[in-house]
Each structure stands twice: as structure tokens, then as C-alpha cells.
Amino acid sequence: MDENKFREYVDNRYNEAVKWYDSKSIWNKKYYNITQISIIILSSITPVLAILELKWPTTIAASLVAIGTGLIKFMKFEENWLNYRTICETLRKETHLMDAELSDYSRCENKYQLFVDRVESLISRENTLWLTSISTKENKSC
């Protein structure tokens, strides 16, 4: 692989993948934190509402806790956040390994080819894990 093709790959595939994983990680972290904080707050005020014998607010607060807990489990906010962040940082690390000629790059003739191969391997592995988790979820519902 020559330098021009490599630069095109980095611009069109690698940088886009890093941006995608970064944005998805940020999104999942945000919604995980919002949902968790909401659950904590609602869980702590529910007993107070019950003591005050406020039936509807108590029922609504308890229902929202159940919904929030279900959403965290179903949407896998924390799991996605950590997986996407791990992939993003691993992809970012790859450029440093190549530039410093560390790991496999120290004994490779075509660093660009190795870089593309390793990046595609990381992305493919993450996609395979995602497909496995989706098919496992579908099998549980049958």
C-alpha cells in the first residue's frame, strides 16, 4: 500500500471510525449517567412520598424507577459506553504504535498495510461482538 492510498484510508475510513466510536461512547455515557442519577433521585424520594401518603406521586416515582432500571438493562448504556470507548482508544493507540514503530510495526516492511489490517481487525471484532449480543438477545426472547 502506497502513502497516497494510506492517507485516503486514514481520512475516509479510520478517522470516520474513530469519530463514530467516540460520539457513540459519549452518547451512551450521557444517557447512562442521566438515567442512573434519575433512578437514584427517584428512589430516594419515593419513601418520603409514601410517608406523606401521596399516592399518585409515589406511584409515578416508583414506576419511573422501574422504567429507568429497565432502560439501563435493555439499552445497555453502560456496556455500550465502555465498549465504544475501548474500541475508540484502541484505534487511536494504533497510530502511535505505527509512528513509534512499536509492537508488530518494528519488524514489518509495509507499516501502512499492517495498520489497515489491524484497524479492520478491531472494527470487525467489535461488529462480530455486536452481532453476537443481538442474536443472543433475540434467542432469549423466543
85-136 residue pLDDT tens? 999 999 999 999 999 999 899 998 999 999 999 999 999 988 787 677 666 6
pLDDT of residue 56: 97
Residue 139 has pLDDT above 90, yes or no: no
Check residue 136 and give its pLDDT. Answer: 62
pLDDT above 70 coverage of the chain, percent: 92
User: Nearest 5°: phi and psi at 52?
Assistant: -75, 0
**b/e per residue 127-140 (b: at least 16 CB within 10 A):** eeeeeeeeeeeeee
25 burial via Cβ count (<10 Å: 0-12, 13-18, 19+): buried
pLDDT the model gives residue 70? 97
- The structural domain count of the chain equals 1
**Does residue 25 contact residue 88 with C-beta atoms inside 8 Å?**
yes
Q: What pTM does this model have?
A: 0.83
The boundaries of the domain holding residue 17 are: 3-141
Extract the C-alpha cell encoding 5: 492510498
> pLDDT at residue 67 above 60?
yes
What is the overall mean pLDDT for the chain? 92
